[in-house]
């Protein structure tokens, strides 16, 4: 899912939960605010993962998880932060 599609999905999910007595425009703006809050929290989680205290170590002290990632088919933590930045920008454009 590209950043624009994910942004639209987040806002639509929040839009459907907002009280129906508000005008459509008020519901849309509040949905955007809710989606931006969700993205902010996700970014905070991924941003904190690169710190050594958040890396997993096995019994002999070897690091099992790195923020950079070691699998070419998976998004790294840095890639996820960049993706979430793009999602945030797309939400603001809606």
pLDDT tens for the chain, 94 residues: list them: 889 998 999 888 888 887 777 788 888 998 999 999 999 988 887 776 665 555 555 555 554 555 555 555 566 667 788 888 999 999 999 9
Backbone CA torsion sign across 63, 67, 69, 73 = positive
In angstroms, how far is the first alpha carbon of the chain from the final one?
17
Rounded CA separation 4/86 (Å): 8
Q: What is the pLDDT of residue 63?
A: 47
The reply to whether the predicted model has a pTM over 0.75 is: no
């Amino acid at each position: 899912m590209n950043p624009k599609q994910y942004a639209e999905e987040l806002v639509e999910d929040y839009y459907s939960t907002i009280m129906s007595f508000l005008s459509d425009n008020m519901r849309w703006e509040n949905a955007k605010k809710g989606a931006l809050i969700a993205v902010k929290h996700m970014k905070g989680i991924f941003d904190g993962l690169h710190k050594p205290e958040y890396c997993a170590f096995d019994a002999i002290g070897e690091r099992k998880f790195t923020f950079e990632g070691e699998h070419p088919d998976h998004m790294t933590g840095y890639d996820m932060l960049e993706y979430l930045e793009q999602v945030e920008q797309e939400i603001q454009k809606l």
